[in-house]
Structure 1
Amino acid sequence: MYFGLVGSLINTMISIVWIPSPAKPKSEHRKTEQSSVFNIREILRVMKFPGVMEIFLVKVLSGFPIGLFLIMFSIISIEFFGLEAVESGYLMSYFGVLQMVVQGLVIEKLTSRCTEQTLLRLSILVFAGVGLGMALMRTVWHYCIIVVPLVFAFNMQGTITDSILTKAVPSSDTGAMLGICASVQPLTRTVGPTLGVILYKQFGVSSFGYLQLIVNVGLFVYLLKSKSPLRETKSH
């Protein structure tokens, strides 16, 4: 707690000293709508742009099962894998290092060569394969292998869906769209513990994998058949 307090104070001082005040003036006709922190009408308005609701649902549904698994991971690592607290910490560090490598090296190269729709379908397909692997895994070494494509799909899906969604709305709504995208993880953390406990206690660890597989196979088929109104572009 003290360590977190010191870090928060340092971040506060950095933001006060080095982050400049907003340079863009606020438009008068949007002041009323933006005065509320949580505006249902504003969210619904943004979701009505062509293709936004479709991609947003893909974003939410594709990562939801793995989100449940990650929420329950501290319990799973002890009860299912039989790890001690220190070993579980090492595993989480391994996960974090993989995220940095994939986000910094792999995704950058792929987004410059492939269209966003292609990469979105690829991430969903990899998510489905990860689900099958999770359903069959039995040891922590299996998980160490599975987590490599898991991190790839997790980061790719988040990057591509955010990029597609922000491009699908006017520039004046970019902030609102980013805020809506950022709400996905808190939503998972809100309902995830209850659903995660039910799945784990009633059906075991493999249930997370089977749910991940079923959901993402369905989404992959849907994306192949659907004709998205969003523009096919390469990210730069």
Structure 2
Amino acid sequence: MERAGGGAEPSRAQRRTVIWATYAIATLDITWMFLQFSVTPFLAKKLGFDTLWFGYLQTLVGVLQLIGNPLFGRFGDLFGAKAALTLSCGANVVFFLLLASAEHPVMLFIHKLPTLFMHVLPASQMVVTDLSEPDRRADALSKLGLCFGVGMLTGSTLGGHLNTLYGEKVTACVGAVGGAFSLLLVRMFIPKNTKAPTKAKTEGEKKSLFSLGEITRLLKYPGVVPTFIVKIVAGIPTGMFQSMFMIIALDVFKLDPKENGYLMAFFGISQMFIQGAVVGRLTARFKEPTLLLISIVASAAVGLGQAYMLHSGLLF
């Protein structure tokens, strides 16, 4: 199925195989991501981090992701989905190996550096978008949300049990092995280029990873800039929640790794329910601006509810 330039168009069965392999890779990536959520807060506390320094640690991740996201998208355009997923899964392995060897506060910061290249979910969206049928593309992409829920459930539960039974180092090593398995799946099932032959790059086209014009070209399309702004503004509270919730659950509610895993697993079940039973029906009934407004109002309500949590049972 390898195709560059004018290669043969893949059959529907080949496309389906690649898409399902992509779902598996995305699910595993989310699994390993939530596995490390069962390691980092507890390891940070052992190394003497307080809430402020844990916030600095998570800020570093946000900055690296902010820098890496546009460059990674450009990288995928130039070198194809297989190269993009290979880079991301390889960075995952390095990330967990550094985490397993983190025995000093500085190493905890250093182990976050590979997150600059860790963008498996966006790369999976590239593959699904390229290979799905136009009339089924929304449904195909929505299944990545289910992958997120499954990975969140599996990774949180597995990470909590592994950390309780064997400690942070073994849990991180399991994540490294899992990342290597994801990398193997990429090498086996993902074609070099998933774009249609008509979209392939011509030989004379200038290929520059750091082309600011190419990176920002998407912003010139109608409606992209307002959507981009809404995404950034709405993502700020979500980012704050994701970055600090673990350490708050640890310090304020005194959750151990297993209890923390159960809590995140509950979030995963909720995610799967929303993606599978709610989003599709709302999309069929309401227009996108209305759905965005509903999402923002719901997020604000949840945020206010979190501000009044005084007992660990209210977390659920």
Give the TM-score taking structure 1 as reference length: 0.68
CA distance in structure 2 between the partners assigned to 1:221 and 1:95 by the alignment:
26
User: Over residues 177-229 of structure 1, what are the superposed CA-to-partner deviations in whole Å (9 max), with x where a residue is unaligned?
Assistant: 221112333333334443222111211111232112212223323433x2546
The offset of 1:231, in angstroms, is 4.7
Matched, 1:68 2:31: no
Matched, 1:85 2:51: yes
Contact 1:124 1:220 in 2 (8 A): yes
Matched, 1:147 2:92: no
Matched, 1:201 2:168: no
User: Over residues 13-35 of structure 1, what are the superposed CA-to-partner deviations in whole Å (9 max), with x where a residue is unaligned?
Assistant: xxxxxxxxxxxxxxxxxxxxxxx
User: Over residues 131-169 of structure 1, what are the superposed CA-to-partner deviations in whole Å (9 max), with x where a residue is unaligned?
Assistant: 2222211122112112111x13432x1111111012221
CA distance in structure 1 between the partners assigned to 2:50 and 2:138 by the alignment:
42
Q: Aligned letter for 1:91?
A: L
CA distance in structure 1 between the partners assigned to 2:189 and 2:146 by the alignment:
27
CA distance in structure 1 between the partners assigned to 2:148 and 2:123 by the alignment:
16
Q: Aligned letter for 1:161?
A: S
Matched, 1:180 2:154: no
User: Over residues 72-129 of structure 1, what are the superposed CA-to-partner deviations in whole Å (9 max), with x where a residue is unaligned?
Assistant: 5333322x3221122212222222122112113x214322321111111122122122
Q: Aligned letter for 1:55?
A: T
Q: Aligned letter for 1:124?
A: C
Contact 2:90 2:183 in 1 (8 A): yes
User: Over residues 20-60 of structure 1, what are the superposed CA-to-partner deviations in whole Å (9 max), with x where a residue is unaligned?
Assistant: xxxxxxxxxxxxxxxxxxxxxxxxxxxx9231111111121
The residue that corresponds to 1:136 in the other structure is 101
CA distance in structure 2 between the partners assigned to 1:113 and 1:181 by the alignment:
24
Where do 1:17-96 residues align within 5 Å?
A: 49-78=16-45, 80-96=46-62
The residue that corresponds to 2:290 in the other structure is none
Matched, 1:160 2:123: yes
Pairing partner for 2:63 from 83, 92, 97: 97
SS of the residue corresponding to residue 83 of structure 1 reads coil
CA distance in structure 1 between the partners assigned to 2:191 and 2:76 by the alignment:
20
User: Does the C-alpha gap of structure 1 residues 119 and 206 become closer, same or farther in structure 2, counting only changes over 3 Å?
Assistant: same
Runs of 5+ consecutive residues of structure 2 not aligned to the other structure: 1-14, 202-213, 215-316
Contact 1:58 1:219 in 2 (8 A): yes
CA distance in structure 1 between the partners assigned to 2:94 and 2:39 by the alignment:
20
Instruction: Compute the RMSD of aligned alpha carbons.
Output: 2.8
Pairing partner for 2:91 from 101, 126, 139: 126
Aligned residues: 186
User: Does the C-alpha gap of structure 1 residues 96 and 82 become closer, same or farther in structure 2, counting only changes over 3 Å?
Assistant: same
Contact 1:123 1:152 in 2 (8 A): no
Contact 2:28 2:151 in 1 (8 A): no
User: Does the C-alpha gap of structure 1 residues 198 and 173 become closer, same or farther in structure 2, counting only changes over 3 Å?
Assistant: same
Runs of 5+ consecutive residues of structure 1 not aligned to the other structure: 1-47
CA distance in structure 2 between the partners assigned to 1:178 and 1:63 by the alignment:
15
